[in-house]
Amino acid sequence: MSKPIVAIVGRPNVGKSTFFNYVVGQRISIVEDEPGVTRDRIYAEANWCGKDFTLIDTGGIEPKSNNTIVVSMLEQVNIAISMADVIIFMTDIKNGMLESDKDIALMLKKSKKPVVLVCNKSDNFGKTPDDINEFYALGLGEPLAISSVNALGIGDVLEQVCKNLPETEEEEKDDIIKVALIGKPNVGKSSLINKILGENRVIVSDVAGTTRDAIDTYYENEHGKYTLIDTAGIRRHSKVKENIEKYSIMRTLLAIERADVCLLMIDAIEGVTEQDTKIAGEAHEAGKGIIIVVNKWDQIEKDNNTFNKFRQDIYNKLAYLTYAPIIFISAKTGQRVDKLYDMINNVAKMNALRVPTSTLNQVIDEAIAITQPPTDKGRRLKILYVTQASTKPPTFIVFVNNKNLFHFSYERYLINYIRKEFGLEGTPIRMIAKEKKDDNKET
Protein backbone atom coordinates (compact mmCIF):
# COMPACT_ATOMS: atom_id res chain seq x y z
CA MET A 1 0.00 0.00 0.00
CA SER A 2 1.48 3.34 -1.04
CA LYS A 3 1.61 6.25 1.41
CA PRO A 4 0.08 9.65 0.60
CA ILE A 5 2.56 12.35 -0.40
CA VAL A 6 2.78 15.82 1.18
CA ALA A 7 4.95 18.46 -0.53
CA ILE A 8 6.27 21.63 1.11
CA VAL A 9 6.56 24.51 -1.37
CA GLY A 10 7.29 28.22 -1.17
CA ARG A 11 9.75 30.88 -2.21
CA PRO A 12 13.39 30.66 -1.01
CA ASN A 13 14.36 31.14 2.63
CA VAL A 14 10.91 30.90 4.23
CA GLY A 15 11.89 28.00 6.51
CA LYS A 16 10.72 24.94 4.57
CA SER A 17 13.72 22.79 5.48
CA THR A 18 13.52 23.66 9.18
CA PHE A 19 9.86 22.61 9.18
CA PHE A 20 10.70 19.43 7.26
CA ASN A 21 13.48 18.46 9.67
CA TYR A 22 11.27 18.96 12.71
CA VAL A 23 8.43 16.85 11.33
CA VAL A 24 10.58 13.90 10.26
CA GLY A 25 12.67 14.08 13.42
CA GLN A 26 16.01 14.28 11.71
CA ARG A 27 18.23 17.03 10.36
CA ILE A 28 18.04 15.77 6.77
CA SER A 29 17.81 18.99 4.77
CA ILE A 30 20.69 21.45 4.92
CA VAL A 31 19.52 24.54 6.78
CA GLU A 32 21.34 27.82 6.16
CA ASP A 33 20.10 31.37 6.48
CA GLU A 34 20.46 32.21 2.83
CA PRO A 35 18.16 31.68 -0.13
CA GLY A 36 18.49 28.75 -2.48
CA VAL A 37 20.33 26.28 -0.23
CA THR A 38 17.83 23.45 -0.77
CA ARG A 39 18.01 22.82 -4.49
CA ASP A 40 17.07 19.15 -4.67
CA ARG A 41 13.84 17.67 -3.45
CA ILE A 42 14.38 15.57 -0.34
CA TYR A 43 11.83 13.13 1.03
CA ALA A 44 11.32 11.17 4.24
CA GLU A 45 8.63 9.14 5.94
CA ALA A 46 6.54 10.94 8.56
CA ASN A 47 3.66 10.17 10.89
CA TRP A 48 1.13 12.33 12.67
CA CYS A 49 -1.70 11.07 14.87
CA GLY A 50 -1.31 7.56 13.46
CA LYS A 51 -1.35 8.62 9.81
CA ASP A 52 1.70 7.76 7.72
CA PHE A 53 2.74 9.91 4.77
CA THR A 54 5.78 10.79 2.68
CA LEU A 55 6.97 14.38 3.19
CA ILE A 56 8.84 16.11 0.35
CA ASP A 57 11.01 19.17 0.92
CA THR A 58 11.55 21.31 -2.19
CA GLY A 59 13.78 24.08 -3.37
CA GLY A 60 12.45 27.64 -3.17
CA ILE A 61 10.34 29.06 -5.98
CA GLU A 62 10.84 32.34 -7.80
CA PRO A 63 8.33 31.93 -10.64
CA LYS A 64 9.46 34.89 -12.78
CA SER A 65 13.21 34.41 -12.41
CA ASN A 66 15.37 33.51 -15.39
CA ASN A 67 18.21 32.32 -13.16
CA THR A 68 19.12 28.78 -14.22
CA ILE A 69 19.18 27.39 -10.68
CA VAL A 70 15.86 28.99 -9.78
CA VAL A 71 14.27 27.69 -12.98
CA SER A 72 15.57 24.23 -12.07
CA MET A 73 14.02 24.51 -8.60
CA LEU A 74 10.73 25.58 -10.17
CA GLU A 75 10.77 22.47 -12.36
CA GLN A 76 11.39 20.33 -9.30
CA VAL A 77 8.47 21.89 -7.47
CA ASN A 78 6.20 21.36 -10.47
CA ILE A 79 7.02 17.67 -10.20
CA ALA A 80 6.42 17.71 -6.43
CA ILE A 81 3.04 19.36 -6.96
CA SER A 82 2.04 16.78 -9.56
CA MET A 83 2.99 13.96 -7.18
CA ALA A 84 1.48 15.39 -4.00
CA ASP A 85 -1.85 14.59 -2.37
CA VAL A 86 -1.59 17.63 -0.08
CA ILE A 87 0.60 20.75 -0.41
CA ILE A 88 1.96 22.90 2.41
CA PHE A 89 2.46 26.41 1.02
CA MET A 90 4.92 28.20 3.30
CA THR A 91 5.24 31.97 3.42
CA ASP A 92 7.24 34.34 5.64
CA ILE A 93 5.21 36.63 7.89
CA LYS A 94 8.34 38.62 8.71
CA ASN A 95 8.71 39.85 5.14
CA GLY A 96 4.99 39.95 4.47
CA MET A 97 3.22 38.84 1.31
CA LEU A 98 5.36 39.33 -1.80
CA GLU A 99 4.48 39.22 -5.49
CA SER A 100 6.16 35.84 -5.79
CA ASP A 101 3.77 34.49 -3.12
CA LYS A 102 0.87 35.56 -5.31
CA ASP A 103 2.43 33.82 -8.33
CA ILE A 104 2.92 30.62 -6.36
CA ALA A 105 -0.64 30.77 -5.04
CA LEU A 106 -1.89 30.95 -8.63
CA MET A 107 0.17 27.86 -9.54
CA LEU A 108 -1.28 25.98 -6.58
CA LYS A 109 -4.86 26.94 -7.39
CA LYS A 110 -4.38 25.55 -10.90
CA SER A 111 -3.16 22.26 -9.44
CA LYS A 112 -6.55 21.77 -7.72
CA LYS A 113 -4.75 20.00 -4.88
CA PRO A 114 -5.60 20.62 -1.19
CA VAL A 115 -3.34 23.42 0.11
CA VAL A 116 -2.50 24.29 3.73
CA LEU A 117 -1.33 27.92 3.85
CA VAL A 118 1.37 28.57 6.48
CA CYS A 119 2.91 31.83 7.69
CA ASN A 120 6.29 30.96 9.17
CA LYS A 121 8.59 33.04 11.44
CA SER A 122 5.65 34.11 13.57
CA ASP A 123 7.57 33.93 16.87
CA ASN A 124 7.96 37.73 16.97
CA PHE A 125 5.72 38.89 14.16
CA GLY A 126 2.47 36.98 14.52
CA LYS A 127 1.18 38.60 17.68
CA THR A 128 -1.09 41.13 15.98
CA PRO A 129 -3.88 40.27 13.52
CA ASP A 130 -2.56 42.71 10.92
CA ASP A 131 0.57 40.63 10.34
CA ILE A 132 -1.38 37.69 9.01
CA ASN A 133 -4.52 39.27 7.55
CA GLU A 134 -2.91 40.21 4.23
CA PHE A 135 -2.31 36.53 3.42
CA TYR A 136 -6.07 35.93 3.17
CA ALA A 137 -5.80 37.74 -0.16
CA LEU A 138 -4.01 34.70 -1.63
CA GLY A 139 -7.39 32.97 -1.73
CA LEU A 140 -6.15 29.73 -0.17
CA GLY A 141 -8.16 29.78 3.02
CA GLU A 142 -7.11 30.58 6.57
CA PRO A 143 -3.34 31.10 7.00
CA LEU A 144 -1.77 29.31 9.98
CA ALA A 145 0.88 31.21 11.94
CA ILE A 146 3.86 29.06 13.00
CA SER A 147 7.49 29.23 14.03
CA SER A 148 9.48 26.32 12.63
CA VAL A 149 12.59 27.32 14.60
CA ASN A 150 10.71 27.28 17.91
CA ALA A 151 8.36 24.43 16.94
CA LEU A 152 5.27 26.58 17.51
CA GLY A 153 2.06 25.81 15.66
CA ILE A 154 3.44 22.84 13.72
CA GLY A 155 0.83 20.49 15.19
CA ASP A 156 -1.97 22.70 13.83
CA VAL A 157 -0.45 22.47 10.35
CA LEU A 158 -0.14 18.69 10.50
CA GLU A 159 -3.73 18.35 11.71
CA GLN A 160 -4.92 20.26 8.64
CA VAL A 161 -2.70 18.11 6.44
CA CYS A 162 -4.14 14.91 7.89
CA LYS A 163 -7.72 16.16 7.36
CA ASN A 164 -6.95 16.49 3.65
CA LEU A 165 -5.11 13.20 3.18
CA PRO A 166 -6.95 10.68 1.00
CA GLU A 167 -8.72 7.83 2.70
CA THR A 168 -6.42 4.93 3.44
CA GLU A 169 -6.43 2.50 0.58
CA GLU A 170 -7.44 -1.05 1.27
CA GLU A 171 -4.55 -3.44 1.48
CA GLU A 172 -3.82 -4.97 -1.88
CA LYS A 173 -4.48 -8.68 -2.14
CA ASP A 174 -1.61 -10.83 -0.98
CA ASP A 175 -1.53 -12.74 -4.25
CA ILE A 176 -0.77 -9.62 -6.32
CA ILE A 177 2.98 -9.04 -6.60
CA LYS A 178 4.03 -5.40 -6.99
CA VAL A 179 6.95 -5.22 -9.44
CA ALA A 180 8.90 -1.98 -9.89
CA LEU A 181 11.05 -1.60 -13.00
CA ILE A 182 13.99 0.52 -11.85
CA GLY A 183 17.09 1.79 -13.59
CA LYS A 184 18.41 4.85 -15.31
CA PRO A 185 16.45 6.49 -18.15
CA ASN A 186 16.45 4.86 -21.59
CA VAL A 187 17.43 1.43 -20.30
CA GLY A 188 14.22 -0.11 -21.63
CA LYS A 189 11.80 -0.16 -18.70
CA SER A 190 8.76 0.98 -20.66
CA SER A 191 9.75 -1.24 -23.60
CA LEU A 192 9.75 -4.27 -21.31
CA ILE A 193 6.28 -3.43 -19.98
CA ASN A 194 5.00 -2.94 -23.52
CA LYS A 195 6.45 -6.28 -24.58
CA ILE A 196 4.82 -8.03 -21.61
CA LEU A 197 1.42 -6.46 -22.23
CA GLY A 198 1.55 -6.74 -26.00
CA GLU A 199 2.27 -10.42 -26.28
CA ASN A 200 0.66 -12.17 -23.32
CA ARG A 201 -2.33 -10.02 -22.52
CA VAL A 202 -5.00 -11.62 -20.31
CA ILE A 203 -6.40 -8.90 -18.05
CA VAL A 204 -5.01 -5.38 -18.36
CA SER A 205 -6.23 -2.12 -16.84
CA ASP A 206 -4.17 1.07 -16.94
CA VAL A 207 -4.69 3.30 -13.93
CA ALA A 208 -2.84 6.61 -13.79
CA GLY A 209 -1.17 7.04 -10.40
CA THR A 210 -3.03 9.83 -8.60
CA THR A 211 -0.17 10.69 -6.26
CA ARG A 212 2.77 10.25 -8.60
CA ASP A 213 3.05 10.98 -12.30
CA ALA A 214 3.42 7.34 -13.28
CA ILE A 215 1.41 4.43 -14.61
CA ASP A 216 0.62 1.33 -12.55
CA THR A 217 -0.54 -1.53 -14.73
CA TYR A 218 -2.37 -4.57 -13.39
CA TYR A 219 -1.47 -7.66 -15.33
CA GLU A 220 -2.51 -11.29 -14.97
CA ASN A 221 -1.40 -14.42 -16.78
CA GLU A 222 -1.00 -18.13 -16.13
CA HIS A 223 1.99 -17.42 -13.85
CA GLY A 224 0.22 -15.06 -11.46
CA LYS A 225 -1.12 -11.56 -10.78
CA TYR A 226 1.14 -8.52 -10.93
CA THR A 227 1.10 -4.74 -10.61
CA LEU A 228 3.81 -3.34 -12.88
CA ILE A 229 5.21 0.01 -11.72
CA ASP A 230 6.98 1.92 -14.49
CA THR A 231 9.56 4.42 -13.22
CA ALA A 232 10.53 5.91 -16.59
CA GLY A 233 12.12 9.34 -16.17
CA ILE A 234 10.04 12.50 -16.46
CA ARG A 235 11.07 14.52 -19.47
CA ARG A 236 8.40 16.98 -20.42
CA HIS A 237 9.64 19.81 -18.14
CA SER A 238 13.29 18.86 -18.41
CA LYS A 239 15.78 20.14 -20.93
CA VAL A 240 18.86 19.51 -18.85
CA LYS A 241 20.16 15.97 -18.54
CA GLU A 242 21.05 16.52 -14.88
CA ASN A 243 17.46 17.43 -14.07
CA ILE A 244 16.08 14.36 -15.86
CA GLU A 245 18.38 12.22 -13.71
CA LYS A 246 17.15 13.85 -10.49
CA TYR A 247 13.49 13.37 -11.37
CA SER A 248 14.09 9.78 -12.40
CA ILE A 249 15.80 8.95 -9.11
CA MET A 250 13.03 10.59 -7.08
CA ARG A 251 10.38 8.54 -8.83
CA THR A 252 12.50 5.43 -8.44
CA LEU A 253 12.78 5.90 -4.68
CA LEU A 254 9.02 6.14 -4.31
CA ALA A 255 8.47 3.13 -6.57
CA ILE A 256 10.97 1.04 -4.61
CA GLU A 257 9.10 1.83 -1.40
CA ARG A 258 5.88 0.41 -2.87
CA ALA A 259 7.35 -2.68 -4.52
CA ASP A 260 7.67 -6.32 -3.48
CA VAL A 261 10.20 -7.09 -6.20
CA CYS A 262 12.47 -4.66 -8.07
CA LEU A 263 13.68 -5.43 -11.57
CA LEU A 264 17.01 -3.59 -11.74
CA MET A 265 17.50 -3.03 -15.44
CA ILE A 266 21.05 -2.71 -16.76
CA ASP A 267 21.97 -1.61 -20.28
CA ALA A 268 24.09 -4.40 -21.79
CA ILE A 269 25.85 -1.92 -24.07
CA GLU A 270 26.87 0.47 -21.26
CA GLY A 271 27.33 -2.08 -18.48
CA VAL A 272 26.96 -1.13 -14.80
CA THR A 273 27.19 2.64 -14.35
CA GLU A 274 27.53 4.79 -11.25
CA GLN A 275 23.84 5.64 -11.42
CA ASP A 276 23.01 1.93 -11.53
CA THR A 277 24.98 1.36 -8.31
CA LYS A 278 23.08 4.16 -6.54
CA ILE A 279 19.69 2.84 -7.60
CA ALA A 280 20.67 -0.74 -6.71
CA GLY A 281 21.84 0.43 -3.28
CA GLU A 282 18.46 2.04 -2.60
CA ALA A 283 16.59 -1.19 -3.40
CA HIS A 284 19.02 -3.23 -1.29
CA GLU A 285 18.75 -0.89 1.71
CA ALA A 286 14.96 -0.92 1.40
CA GLY A 287 15.04 -4.70 1.80
CA LYS A 288 13.24 -5.45 -1.45
CA GLY A 289 13.49 -8.56 -3.58
CA ILE A 290 15.81 -7.84 -6.50
CA ILE A 291 16.35 -9.36 -9.95
CA ILE A 292 19.09 -7.93 -12.16
CA VAL A 293 17.75 -7.69 -15.71
CA VAL A 294 20.37 -7.06 -18.41
CA ASN A 295 18.53 -5.59 -21.39
CA LYS A 296 19.59 -5.16 -25.05
CA TRP A 297 21.45 -8.48 -24.90
CA ASP A 298 20.60 -9.02 -28.56
CA GLN A 299 22.91 -6.12 -29.48
CA ILE A 300 26.01 -7.64 -27.88
CA GLU A 301 28.57 -9.58 -29.91
CA LYS A 302 29.17 -12.81 -28.03
CA ASP A 303 31.68 -15.59 -27.70
CA ASN A 304 31.87 -18.54 -25.33
CA ASN A 305 33.00 -16.36 -22.41
CA THR A 306 30.75 -13.29 -22.88
CA PHE A 307 28.00 -14.44 -20.54
CA ASN A 308 30.30 -15.40 -17.66
CA LYS A 309 32.45 -12.28 -18.05
CA PHE A 310 29.42 -9.98 -18.01
CA ARG A 311 27.90 -11.79 -15.05
CA GLN A 312 31.13 -11.56 -13.05
CA ASP A 313 31.55 -7.90 -13.91
CA ILE A 314 28.06 -7.13 -12.57
CA TYR A 315 28.74 -8.91 -9.28
CA ASN A 316 32.14 -7.19 -8.99
CA LYS A 317 30.54 -3.75 -9.31
CA LEU A 318 27.45 -4.65 -7.27
CA ALA A 319 29.19 -6.79 -4.65
CA TYR A 320 26.36 -6.42 -2.14
CA LEU A 321 23.87 -7.92 -4.66
CA THR A 322 25.48 -11.31 -5.18
CA TYR A 323 22.23 -12.82 -3.86
CA ALA A 324 20.27 -11.33 -6.78
CA PRO A 325 19.73 -13.58 -9.81
CA ILE A 326 20.70 -12.20 -13.23
CA ILE A 327 18.74 -12.66 -16.45
CA PHE A 328 19.83 -11.49 -19.92
CA ILE A 329 16.93 -10.31 -22.10
CA SER A 330 15.90 -8.22 -25.05
CA ALA A 331 12.77 -6.15 -24.40
CA LYS A 332 12.73 -5.35 -28.09
CA THR A 333 12.66 -8.95 -29.39
CA GLY A 334 11.14 -10.58 -26.31
CA GLN A 335 14.17 -12.84 -25.80
CA ARG A 336 13.84 -14.62 -22.40
CA VAL A 337 11.13 -12.21 -21.19
CA ASP A 338 8.88 -15.19 -20.47
CA LYS A 339 11.49 -16.48 -17.99
CA LEU A 340 10.93 -13.45 -15.75
CA TYR A 341 7.65 -14.60 -14.21
CA ASP A 342 8.98 -17.65 -12.39
CA MET A 343 11.92 -15.58 -11.14
CA ILE A 344 9.61 -12.83 -9.87
CA ASN A 345 7.35 -15.34 -8.13
CA ASN A 346 10.27 -17.06 -6.44
CA VAL A 347 11.98 -13.86 -5.30
CA ALA A 348 8.69 -12.49 -3.88
CA LYS A 349 8.18 -15.76 -2.03
CA MET A 350 11.71 -15.73 -0.60
CA ASN A 351 11.43 -12.07 0.45
CA ALA A 352 8.29 -12.94 2.44
CA LEU A 353 9.54 -16.28 3.81
CA ARG A 354 9.03 -17.02 7.50
CA VAL A 355 11.11 -19.82 9.05
CA PRO A 356 9.84 -21.73 12.14
CA THR A 357 12.02 -20.97 15.17
CA SER A 358 12.83 -24.63 15.83
CA THR A 359 13.96 -25.19 12.24
CA LEU A 360 15.95 -21.96 12.24
CA ASN A 361 17.88 -22.87 15.40
CA GLN A 362 18.58 -26.33 14.07
CA VAL A 363 20.20 -24.77 11.00
CA ILE A 364 22.18 -22.32 13.15
CA ASP A 365 23.45 -25.18 15.31
CA GLU A 366 24.63 -26.94 12.14
CA ALA A 367 26.43 -23.78 11.01
CA ILE A 368 28.14 -23.41 14.41
CA ALA A 369 29.23 -27.05 14.35
CA ILE A 370 30.90 -26.53 10.96
CA THR A 371 32.56 -23.20 11.81
CA GLN A 372 33.01 -22.28 15.46
CA PRO A 373 32.21 -18.70 16.55
CA PRO A 374 35.22 -16.39 16.95
CA THR A 375 37.11 -15.70 20.16
CA ASP A 376 38.64 -12.48 21.41
CA LYS A 377 41.12 -12.35 24.32
CA GLY A 378 40.06 -15.77 25.48
CA ARG A 379 36.32 -15.08 25.30
CA ARG A 380 34.27 -17.00 22.75
CA LEU A 381 31.10 -15.77 21.12
CA LYS A 382 28.13 -17.86 22.20
CA ILE A 383 24.96 -17.86 20.14
CA LEU A 384 22.16 -18.65 22.56
CA TYR A 385 19.30 -18.80 20.07
CA VAL A 386 17.89 -17.12 16.96
CA THR A 387 14.38 -16.00 16.08
CA GLN A 388 12.86 -14.37 13.01
CA ALA A 389 11.54 -10.90 13.77
CA SER A 390 9.93 -10.01 10.44
CA THR A 391 9.71 -10.61 6.70
CA LYS A 392 10.23 -8.38 3.64
CA PRO A 393 13.13 -8.84 4.04
CA PRO A 394 13.67 -11.85 6.31
CA THR A 395 15.08 -10.34 9.51
CA PHE A 396 16.61 -12.46 12.25
CA ILE A 397 17.49 -11.56 15.83
CA VAL A 398 20.54 -13.40 17.16
CA PHE A 399 20.80 -13.52 20.97
CA VAL A 400 24.46 -13.66 21.98
CA ASN A 401 26.52 -13.47 25.14
CA ASN A 402 28.48 -10.44 23.90
CA LYS A 403 27.60 -8.21 20.93
CA ASN A 404 31.20 -7.07 20.54
CA LEU A 405 32.24 -10.65 19.76
CA PHE A 406 29.68 -10.94 16.96
CA HIS A 407 32.03 -9.86 14.21
CA PHE A 408 30.82 -8.89 10.74
CA SER A 409 32.63 -11.83 9.14
CA TYR A 410 30.76 -14.36 11.29
CA GLU A 411 27.46 -12.55 10.72
CA ARG A 412 28.07 -12.82 6.98
CA TYR A 413 28.88 -16.51 7.36
CA LEU A 414 25.59 -17.18 9.17
CA ILE A 415 23.62 -15.15 6.61
CA ASN A 416 25.17 -17.11 3.75
CA TYR A 417 24.47 -20.40 5.54
CA ILE A 418 20.83 -19.46 6.13
CA ARG A 419 20.52 -18.31 2.52
CA LYS A 420 21.88 -21.62 1.23
CA GLU A 421 19.75 -23.80 3.51
CA PHE A 422 16.45 -22.05 2.78
CA GLY A 423 17.13 -21.05 -0.82
CA LEU A 424 16.73 -17.34 -0.11
CA GLU A 425 17.57 -16.16 -3.61
CA GLY A 426 16.93 -12.58 -4.61
CA THR A 427 16.29 -11.13 -1.16
CA PRO A 428 18.53 -9.33 1.30
CA ILE A 429 18.73 -10.84 4.79
CA ARG A 430 18.96 -8.73 7.93
CA MET A 431 20.60 -9.97 11.12
CA ILE A 432 20.43 -8.09 14.42
CA ALA A 433 22.55 -9.08 17.44
CA LYS A 434 21.16 -8.64 20.95
CA GLU A 435 22.87 -9.47 24.20
CA LYS A 436 21.18 -11.86 26.59
CA LYS A 437 22.42 -13.33 29.84
CA ASP A 438 23.60 -16.90 29.38
CA ASP A 439 22.00 -19.03 32.11
CA ASN A 440 24.46 -21.80 31.30
CA LYS A 441 27.49 -19.54 31.44
CA GLU A 442 30.67 -21.36 32.31
CA THR A 443 32.38 -20.25 35.50
Tell me if residue 375 falls in helix, strand or coil: strand
Helix axes 99-111, 68-83, angle to 10 degrees: 30
pLDDT at 417: 96
248 confidence band (pLDDT: 50, 70, 90): low
Q: How far is the C-alpha of 320 from the C-alpha of 290, rounded, in Å?
A: 11
The answer, yes or no, to whether residue 232 has pLDDT greater than 90, is no
Q: How far is the C-alpha of 283 from the C-alpha of 301, rounded, in Å?
A: 30
Q: How far is the C-alpha of 263 from the C-alpha of 402, rounded, in Å?
A: 39
Q: For 5-164, CATH number? A: 3.40.50.300
Summarize pLDDT for 123-170 with one digit per residue, the tens: 764 455 567 888 998 999 999 988 888 888 888 999 999 999 887 555
- 176-351 homologous superfamily: P-loop containing nucleotide triphosphate hydrolases (3.40.50.300)
Say if residues 185 and 206 touch (Cβ distance below 8 Å): no
Query: Which amino acid would we find at residue 288?
Result: K
Question: What's the mean per-residue pLDDT of the chain?
Answer: 80
The answer, yes or no, to whether residue 69 has pLDDT greater than 90, is no
pLDDT at 78: 73
Q: For 357-435, CATH number? A: 3.30.300.20
Return all residues near 153 (Cβ < 8 A) that are at least 6 apart.
122, 144, 145, 146, 147
pLDDT at 432: 92
Which residue did the predictor score with more confidence, 10 or 440?
Answer: 10
Which residue did the predictor score with more confidence, 326 or 377?
Answer: 326
Summarize pLDDT for 179-223 with one digit per residue, the tens: 999 888 778 887 888 888 874 333 233 332 222 334 567 888 899
pLDDT at 18: 85
Lowest-pLDDT choice from 102-116, 153-167, 227-241: 227-241
Say if residues 371 and 412 touch (Cβ distance below 8 Å): no
Residue limits of CATH 3.40.50.300 in the chain: 5-164, 176-351
The answer, yes or no, to whether residue 242 has pLDDT greater than 70, is no
pLDDT at 26: 55
Summarize pLDDT for 70-87 with one digit per residue, the tens: 565 566 567 667 778 999
pLDDT at 243: 44
56 confidence band (pLDDT: 50, 70, 90): confident
Q: Tell me the mean pLDDT in the region 85-112.
A: 88
Q: String of b and e for 333-356 (b: at least 16 CB within 10 Å)? A: ebeebeebbebbebbbbbbbbebe
pLDDT at 186: 79
